Amino acid sequence: MSNPIDKATAHFRSKISGDMMSIKVPEWGDCEIWFKNSNTLAEESRLIELAQQNKTVEALVETLITKGRNADGTKMFKKADKMTFMNEVDPSVVIRVVGDMNSAVADSNLEIVEKN
């Protein structure tokens, strides 16, 4: 495997096939949201675009929909859930959950850097 793109895709496959982290959301009936510490560039692109358009709240909701998983790794939310999140869900909970997800990913990345 000397081709750089093969090395890059192998690295990403290992990253997304790794262990998931989870966050408990007691406000939602003891819900536990699982997530990985990586997104595809296509997913990141959507989130960055929303942030650059100053659509911070929408970017938070998209992050939750994109990253949120069930314990078995299947997606927890559907794109159609976006309007429900935007209009019918406590914003403080969404902000906390996404903040906790981002903090957990940052902590995980810091641990990797420290090991190297």
Residue 36 contacts residue 20 (beta carbons within 8 Å): yes
> What is the domain extent for residue 81?
35-115
Whether 104 is in a domain gets the answer: yes
Whether 12 is in a domain gets the answer: no
Whether 8 is in a domain gets the answer: no
Whether 10 is in a domain gets the answer: no
Reported as a single tens digit per residue, the pLDDT across 15-30 is 767 788 999 999 999 8
105: confidence class by pLDDT, cuts 50, 70, 90:
low
* Number of domains within the chain: 1
Whether 5 is in a domain gets the answer: no
Token pair, residue 50, equals 């929303």
Whether 91 is in a domain gets the answer: yes
Direct distance between the N- and C-terminal alpha carbons of the chain, in angstroms, rounded to an integer: 22
Q: Is the pLDDT of residue 116 over 90?
A: no
Q: What is the pTM for the complete model shown?
A: 0.78
Query: What is residue 1's predicted lDDT score, i.e. its pLDDT?
Result: 53
**Span 38-63, average pLDDT:** 90
Whether 58 is in a domain gets the answer: yes
